[in-house]
Structure 1
Amino acid sequence: MSVFQIPGLIRPHAIIILPSSSGMELLLCYEDEGVYIDTYGHITKETVLQWGEMPASVAYLQSNQVMGWGEKAIELRSAKTASLEGVFMHKKAQKLKFLCERNDKVFFASVQSGGCSQIYFMTLGQNSLFNW
């Protein structure tokens, strides 16, 4: 594996333990990227996950996919290859936070000023298409 340097301080916003690795491989998400590392901090894949925009929230799904919630879109990516598998554009910019996954549904909340929020859910189809 080649080693690359990331300039400056890294502040991860999500650290996802990849279940297929018996807890030994992580997806470290920072800024608008994600890198695959082992528990010793060594890079395990040359692949870099590149989000279309910096996500406010990231979650690993049971379907071996990673979902990222940005202000303009929700992206669904393969946890194994980091390839884009689906995208859902918002009608207006908003901050969304992951809540949980239950069966084939993903629940998330909008974060609004004044302490108010709305809860949304999305159904994931077999071919990774979103149903709102």
Structure 2
Amino acid sequence: IAPEHTEDSILSLMGKDGKSCLNEFKNRFYKLNHELGKKQFLTYYLIAAHPGCKEKEMLDLKKYASKELRVNPEQVQIFTPTPSTYSTLMYYTEKDPFTGKKLFVEKDNGKKQKQKNIVLDKSHNHRRFR
């Protein structure tokens, strides 16, 4: 599934519902699997360096993925501007198009990679965050 992020502030910028929807879906999915005797699992599509996202939000994403989703992501996409999206507008203007508020936008490729690596770091497993 494609939550893309877990922090409500970033999800809002993406035009998505908060992580409570992800929790509800995940819980229902595993409940139904248990009831049906199935062993199916979810994988998550996640994005690093979306406009508005700093290292703190990526650390929070890693913590949430480990503790709540109980996964250690092996793949994370670095945000890539694409035509005709609000996220791309935010990337280039460094502003929220709906509020006009200035946004942090990481444009340094090395720092974008660092955001991605925060989530991929296997040493940040869920035991550390209990």
TM-score, normalised via structure 1 length? 0.25
Tell me which protein shows more strand as a share of its residues.
1
